[in-house]
Amino acid sequence: GPTISGFDIKKAVKNNTGVFTVYGSVLITFFLAGLVEPDVFSVENILTILHHMASLGVVAIGQTFCILSGTFDLSVGSVISLSNLLFSGTLYGRAQMLLPALLLAVGVSVVIGLINGLLIAKARINPFVTTLAMMAMAQGAALMYYTGPYGKITPAVKWLGYGKIGPIPVPALLLAFFFALGLIVLTKARFALHVYAQAQRSENSAHAIGHPCYLLCDGRHNRHLLLGSHGHRGSLLRCRC
């Protein structure tokens, strides 16, 4: 087939049909929308989309680790809400409480991820059941202690949600940072081998590279949290409130 500097285009398309289909559909939809409304192609509109979708993009990066390892996490939304409330409630407009608030939000999220991982890998509970139950518990905890929006952010935190560096929104830059971090981990770090091994749903493939399966699962869910979901996204959403 045709190649570009030794890269076989035909083989790449054949091996990644699903990926090309998804991205092709997105590009076609974007193009058709632009024909109806030319402003869709404007730089301002593209930057606005990046601004508002950055938090979802950060979550998607973290969720990628779960999907690559053959599972998923349904508790994301509820834990985001809980960490959001914890962060803003602890901060409450006090700049000196920024670090404790961030550590609390991220820490709670990491603990929840660890619990999910242990239940799935050690107790052999189905990921759907585990994360669905965790979703209900996190949502219940949020509703139990908070009856509505709570807390207050500082101007510096608000800048992270609404500020710009030149024409580029800060949330878009944060998304780019987490994307680069996730890409490096998945292509350069040894942890990626464990993620891909777990995706084979075989303990033998995991043990062959010297890593217990429960550590794969725990690491997968916690990496999901650290690279792009609960704690960071909760804080980013609070920045935009």
What pLDDT is stored for residue 150 in this prediction? 76
1-15, 51-65, 72-86 — which is least confidently predicted?
1-15
Name the token pair of 133.
């139950």
Band (pLDDT 50/70/90 cuts) for residue 173 is: very high
Q: Which residue has the higher pLDDT, 86 or 214?
A: 86
Band (pLDDT 50/70/90 cuts) for residue 239 is: low
What pLDDT is stored for residue 199 in this prediction? 64
What pLDDT is stored for residue 228 in this prediction? 38
What's the rounded mean pLDDT across residues 102-118?
A: 91
Q: Which residue has the higher pLDDT, 205 or 167?
A: 167
What pLDDT is stored for residue 225 in this prediction? 46
Q: Which residue has the higher pLDDT, 101 or 146?
A: 101
Name the token pair of 207.
């043990």
Who contacts 58 (Cβ-Cβ below 8 Å, separation ≥6)? Answer: 174, 175, 178, 228, 229, 232, 233, 236
* Residue with the two structure tokens 């979708």: 53
24-38, 162-176, 226-240 — which is least confidently predicted?
226-240
pLDDT at 51 over 80: yes
Class of residue 28 by CB neighbours under 10 A (exposed 0-12, middle 13-18, buried 19+): exposed
What pLDDT is stored for residue 236 in this prediction? 53
pLDDT tens-digit map of 114-143: 999 899 888 888 889 999 999 999 999 888
What pLDDT is stored for residue 129 in this prediction? 92
Q: Are 229 and 62 in contact (CB under 8 A)?
A: yes
Neighbouring C-beta atoms of residue 19, cutoff 10 Å: 11
* E-assigned strand segments in the chain: 3-4, 7-8, 164-165, 168-169
Band (pLDDT 50/70/90 cuts) for residue 240 is: low
**Residues 231, 236, 239, 241: is their CA dihedral positive or negative?**
negative
pLDDT tens-digit map of 174-193: 999 999 998 898 888 887 77
What pLDDT is stored for residue 6 in this prediction? 52
